[in-house]
Amino acid sequence: MNLIIVGMEYAGKTTLADEIIKWRNDVMGKPSPLGIVEYHDHFTFPWLGQWDEISEEDMATFMSLGPQLKEMFSRYQFAYHLSDQLYRDSDHILLGFHIEDAIFAPRYYGFGKKGEYGDRSSGVRAVEMEVMEKAPETVLVHVKATPEVIRERMRTKPHERTHLKDEHIDEMIEEFDYHVGHSLLRNRIVLDTTEATVEQTIAEFVEQMGPLMSHEDRVRMQAHATLEAAKG
């Protein structure tokens, strides 16, 4: 199963990803090979993933780097996560990835502005062309919420590592809509969490995902169901 899950911070991407993993394990079984992470979410600075071994001191050192070094690190991240090795895995699930980089980098990281070296906005399509070559069945999942709900969640449950500023929320939501709407990825799911519960959101994902499942994933589901039935 190949997914790219994008959306505004506080929209609920990580919560959805955790529920997708539970659903995947229930209907397909654990992935092969069993990696050290269930999904890759280390693309939006200063959040570089669920890595307890990255200390606050190391994170501060990284964030003190200049824009050029951060841009180089970001390019490495894309190159690695677009590698054939990872696409040979049964599941390759990316959170944020190229679209969040295109929206956050020019605004908060000091690189990737239009017309500059490493222009992230134009680079979005280049990344998607490579994704389409490696895994054309990839599903782009856009998790949304209204500006008012994003602000309320930011106020009541603030993230520890974030750059997001209140005054940028509306325009950034519009940019997510633009990039998803113009994506080269044909398979898309849009989920609005404004009023939906976690249970309702994962149910909507499963419903929309049904027609987009790859042949390989359907075979996995059938095999897992057969094995579970054999257990009695």
Tokens of 205: 């994902």
What pLDDT, on a 0 to 100 scale, did the predictor assign at position 231?
82
Backbone angles phi, psi at 4, to 5 degrees: -120, 115
Q: At 147, is the secondary structure helix, strand, or coil?
A: helix
Residues 5-21 have pLDDT tens digits of 999 999 999 999 999 99
Share of residues in the chain with pLDDT > 90 (%):
65
Q: Which of 214, 178, 151 is nearest to 6 (CA)?
A: 178
Listed in sequence order, the DSSP H helices in 135-214 are 147-156, 169-181, 198-209
Please write the tens of the pLDDT for every residue from 119-133. Answer: 888 889 999 999 999
What are the residue ranges spanned by the domains of the chain? 2-230
The tens digit of pLDDT for each residue in 102-123 reads 999 999 988 989 888 888 888 8
Crossing angle of the two packed helices 198-209 and 13-27, in degrees rounded to 10: 60
Nearest to 40 by CA among 88, 91, 90: 91
Q: Which of 4-18, 55-69, 183-197, 217-231 has the lowest mean pLDDT?
A: 55-69
CATH 3.30.60.50 is right for the domain spanning 2-230:
no
Q: Give me the half-sphere count of Cα atoms (radius 13 Å) on the Cβ side of residue 115.
A: 0
Residues 52-77, mean pLDDT to the nearest whole number: 84
What pLDDT, on the 0 to 100 scale, is given for residue 192?
A: 98
Average the pLDDT over 31-44 and give the result.
Answer: 75
Instruction: Please state, rounded to an integer, the average pLDDT across all residues of the chain.
Output: 91
**pLDDT for residue 60:** 83
